[in-house]
Amino acid sequence: MHNRMMITGAGSGLGREIALRWARDGWRLALADVNEAGLSETLALVRQAGGDGFVQRCDVRDYSQLTALAQACEEKFGGIDVIVNNAGVAAGGFFAELSLEDWDWQIAVNLMGVVKGCKAFLAQLERSRGRIINIASMAALMQGPGMSNYNVAKAGVLALSESLLVELRQVEVAVHVVCPSFFQTNLLDSFRGPDPAMKAQVGKLLEGSPISAADIAEHIHAKVAAGEFLILPHEAGRQAWQLKCQAPQRLYDEMAEMAVKMRAKQRRNSH
């Protein structure tokens, strides 16, 4: 290990906090995002925290930008040890109201962005016997109402991670997938959906979270060190996942009731 890490979505939120957590251990970081102002802020904070690195604008929908980022890591760091596929966007709306464009955008960023990140860096990771950390969501495990396109994209990230876990063991590349519940983040800046009331509801969930992005980064740091594959940073998320494993029907019934409430609220807000 040469302590070299690449993070997408590093311009803010969880991506930035992951960068800072590893920076405190003196790592060199390749920071990528579409938000360039946020990136330079992150780099300044990384340097204050004891790390170093470089920034590169990267839209994870574009494979050529990810391969260019991999090339930059090769040139500046001589390779990479850990990649964190963290870039993501929020979405919401009932299935009937979501356009196919909403679906395409969500899958392109949240699922294919991770696929392309893994693909662009795989050769370097095989060489360094490194590790992949994919940021999914509790939505990968618990499909709540009013966000089917987000649920599907994040479930895809989980399935990809499980596939890579078993395929890459032979070449000694470790794989982790993180499923945070809602936490205080600026994910809503990227929110796309047909219904503004849905955005407000998701916002309430995010603000009501007792756990910050920095707490999650700390949890990820500890669990990666312990070699855990499925990382669930939230206690409530761990409990919900246990419930789904033991009594899935109960969970589906609860989610269906939640959908009824969300629809009622939507109707009230539209009058």
Q: What is the DSSP string of 231-257?
A: E---HHHHHHHHHHHH-HHHHHHHHHH
Paired residues of 56 in beta bridges: 32
Give the confidence band of 182 by pLDDT, cuts at 50, 70, 90. Answer: low
Q: What is the mean pLDDT of residues 167-186?
A: 84
Q: What is the pLDDT of residue 92?
A: 86
Q: What is the pLDDT of residue 29?
A: 98
Mean pLDDT of the chain: 90
Amino acid found at 221: H
Q: Is 150 a catalytic residue?
A: yes
Euclidean distance between CA atoms 178 and 105, whole angstroms: 22
pTM for the model: 0.90
Helix 148-168 × helix 112-128 angle, to 10°: 20
Six-digit token pair at 112? 């294919």
**Which of 176-180, 223-227, 265-269 has the least mean pLDDT?**
265-269
Q: What is the pLDDT of residue 188?
A: 41
With contact defined as beta carbons under 8 Å apart, do 39 and 57 qualify? yes
* Largest Cα–Cα separation, the chain: 60
Euclidean distance between CA atoms 175 and 68, whole angstroms: 23
CA-CA-CA-CA torsion sign (231, 235, 237, 239): positive
Among residues 5, 73, 69, the alpha carbon closest in space to that of 42 is found at 5
Which of 22, 27, 150, 182 is flagged as catalytic?
A: 150
Q: What is the pLDDT of residue 210?
A: 66
Dihedral (C-alpha) 220, 251, 151, 157: value to the nearest 10 degrees? 40
Which tens digit of pLDDT belongs to each residue from 31-70? 999 999 999 999 999 999 999 999 999 999 999 999 999 9
